[in-house]
Chains A and B, each alone.
Chain A
């Protein structure tokens, strides 16, 4: 059988992870083609977040492999995965409370001088210059995500929706090639959620960022993703485009039917 020639940003093979007795992810394989927005859906507790946590090095896996843009990143620590350009956001926004919105943004950039103690002591001019450039970049993103007016606010003082937006904006500061978004629109008001969808689409088109998107709202998934992976109870139930999935009996029974 011929293997379809497809350029995959992410190839997940037989991923396994259990917590005590709970097999949260039990042999999951799927691909994320480059330059797409791939959806990952499934009922509560299906193991979607666990997949994201495993891919991003948040915790080790019990088995399987993860290829990211041709590199085997299985069991790599978070920071190495992130430095490669795979950035994840969190289902429950995790803002850095006592850093301001601007500081949250500046933090995310990984190619700025002054990140080591020696540079902090001896490259002060360089740091000032790069900081200015980064601030410019941050301003653009903050405006895009309606956060510009709270730029000097402590992140801990933002509303729940704003925190989710900041999580996303911050991740973009790191210049990701692949983003794992864990329910980015949950808790964001509907108007903003609509804008967010546009942003995601734009980022894909303009910057060529690839996305793996976890989302419960199937209408959003349908409009954004041409390729969707369905999980249930730690395994892959089906894969394909949304309209095909709606026809799939298993999927309807386990998920869509409720």
Chain B
């Protein structure tokens, strides 16, 4: 039981990080990334092969690139950078137009192409079989059994999640974040006020992709393996549903969303099985996630924890204290 709860806690951290990245892209900036999981996967693959021993090409471990045996904080960074680089490419293709549907189209297409290419081009990441045997961070020195390793890994996940939270919070609560929100509301107004909309969209998209990659890197270093069947369209929309339910634009809401949708919902439904049709539950889960997205934006568009209203206390503004004291603030 404890083992199970620990696993859940670790997965919660993965999903929270994913949600923060997507929230930066969509919740804050209004960018439609319909293949978010691809960035998670790229992060996972690159972190994985960066941490692994060199491929024996066709031997037991299959064939893959890199094999640099990088230690822990470095391998996830490689994963994050790889995902960010894919983000740059996708952004160059899709973000130059002001219309938001072009990028959405590009993401849908890129998702399918990357999936297909990684599956077919075996030398990259061992094709459809995927890579296995990614070392767990520092476990070669700690030598813990899988069960005992969970405590230290939870620690690692919490630290990474805390760093990412600091990152997204600092970005959100800054002039930069304000510009992103302005672009989300009306990119033409932002441009008319001197903001380079393409550059801001690009940077938010790429940082979001980086965060996705970091989450993927954490995941592969925990699970130890990754293959194309592990990242389906559904995975992308589980994160979307989490973001929409939690409250787009709100980083705390992402914690709630990550808990409610991927952890609670997915776990709860994992125990329901329909013996006659073993795959039926999968389909029902997909229907539920799709419906949840639509219902969330229909009936609770701001999510469970709406975006926080930024209020500026007048006492911090120089020369205004007298006004406040004299009760001038309510004057029209």
Tell whether any CB of A sits under 8 Å from a CB of B in the complex: yes
Q: List residues of A whose CB falls within 8 A of some B CB.
A: 56-58, 77-79, 82-83, 87-88, 90, 94, 96-100, 102-103, 106-108, 110, 112-117, 119-121, 124, 127, 131-133, 135-136, 139, 146, 148-149, 151-152, 154, 170-171, 174
Contact A110 B309, beta carbon cutoff 8 Å? no
A120 to B331, CA, bound (A): 35
For chain B, residues 274 to 332, give those with C-beta under 8 angstroms from any C-beta of chain A.
307, 309-312, 316-320, 329-332
Q: List residues of B whose CB falls within 8 A of some A CB.
A: 167, 170-171, 174-179, 181-182, 184-186, 188-197, 203, 207, 249, 307, 309-312, 316-320, 329-332
- Of chain B, the residue at the smallest CB distance from A85 is B194
Contact A110 B194, beta carbon cutoff 8 Å? yes
A135 partner, pick from B184, B188, B312, B332, beta carbons under 8 A:
B312
Contact B191 A96, beta carbon cutoff 8 Å? no
Residues of A within 8 A of B190 (CB): 79, 96, 107
Contact B170 A139, beta carbon cutoff 8 Å? no
Residues of A within 8 A of B332 (CB): 146, 149
Contact B189 A115, beta carbon cutoff 8 Å? no
Residues of A within 8 A of B317 (CB): 132, 135-136, 139
Contact B167 A121, beta carbon cutoff 8 Å? yes
Contact A97 B185, beta carbon cutoff 8 Å? yes
A-B contact count (CB 8 A): 123
Contact A120 B181, beta carbon cutoff 8 Å? no
Residues of A within 8 A of B177 (CB): 120
Contact A82 B186, beta carbon cutoff 8 Å? no
A112 to B317, CA, bound (A): 16
Interface centre among B177, B182, B307, B330 (most CB of A within 10 A): B182
Contact B203 A117, beta carbon cutoff 8 Å? yes
Residues of B within 8 A of A98 (CB): 181, 184-185, 249, 307
Contact A114 B175, beta carbon cutoff 8 Å? yes
Residues of B within 8 A of A106 (CB): 175, 178
Q: How far is the CB of A60 from chain B (nearest CB, A)?
A: 12
A124 to B167, CA, bound (A): 12
Q: How far is the CB of A251 from chain B (nearest CB, A)?
A: 31
Q: How far is the CB of B188 from chain A (nearest CB, A)?
A: 7
Q: How far is the CB of A79 from chain B (nearest CB, A)?
A: 5
Contact B182 A79, beta carbon cutoff 8 Å? no
Residues of A within 8 A of B249 (CB): 98
Contact B178 A100, beta carbon cutoff 8 Å? no
Q: How far is the CB of B91 from chain A (nearest CB, A)?
A: 14
Interface centre among B175, B182, B331 (most CB of A within 10 A): B175
4 closest Cβ pairs, A-B complex: A120-B174, A82-B194, A78-B191, A120-B176
- With A83-B194, A87-B193, A114-B176 already in contact, the answer to whether A96 and B171 are too (CB < 8 A) is no
A100 to B174, CA, bound (A): 15
Contact A121 B192, beta carbon cutoff 8 Å? no
- Of chain B, the residue at the smallest CB distance from A140 is B319
B170 partner, pick from A120, A149, A151, beta carbons under 8 A:
A120
Contact B175 A56, beta carbon cutoff 8 Å? no
Contact B319 A103, beta carbon cutoff 8 Å? no
A149 partner, pick from B179, B319, B331, beta carbons under 8 A:
B331
Contact B193 A99, beta carbon cutoff 8 Å? no
A43 to B302, CA, bound (A): 42
Residues of B within 8 A of A148 (CB): 329, 331
Q: How far is the CB of B329 from chain A (nearest CB, A)?
A: 7
Pull 18 A–B residue pairs with CB atoms less than 8 Å apart, ordered by A.
Answer: A78-B188, A82-B193, A96-B181, A98-B185, A99-B182, A103-B310, A107-B175, A107-B178, A115-B179, A116-B203, A117-B171, A120-B176, A132-B316, A136-B317, A146-B332, A149-B329, A149-B331, A154-B309
A139 to B314, CA, bound (A): 9
Residues of A within 8 A of B171 (CB): 117, 120-121
- Of chain B, the residue at the smallest CB distance from A154 is B309
Contact A132 B318, beta carbon cutoff 8 Å? yes
Q: How far is the CB of B209 from chain A (nearest CB, A)?
A: 13
Contact A88 B316, beta carbon cutoff 8 Å? no
A sample of 7 more A-B contacts (CB under 8 A), given A106-B178, A149-B331, is A77-B191, A96-B189, A103-B178, A107-B178, A114-B175, A116-B176, A136-B319
A113 to B193, CA, bound (A): 16
